[in-house]
Amino acid sequence: MAKKTITVERTGSPIRQTEKQRATLTGLGLRKAREQRTLEDTPSVRGMVNSIPHLVRIVD
């Protein structure tokens, strides 16, 4: 059975964001502007994405 995945794209800058939000971007593996990562669709990844909706978006 194939694992479900989601693709996350960084859309915002971590400048003027809290250290926790910067760490969340790093935890998702997003370092550069417009960078995309395909991640396993788990509750922990969804929680990270939902905690910084102003910095990332889920790509269809």
pLDDT digits 0-9 by tens, 8-57: 999 999 999 999 999 999 999 999 999 999 999 999 999 999 999 999 99
Give the CA angle between residues 24, 7, 52 to the nearest 5°: 30
pTM: 0.90
| Structural domains in the chain plus CATH codes | 5-59 (3.30.1390.20)
Rounded CA separation 36/52 (Å) = 15
CA dihedral 9, 55, 26, 41 (to 10 degrees): -50
**Number of neighbours of residue 57 by Cβ within 10 angstroms:** 15
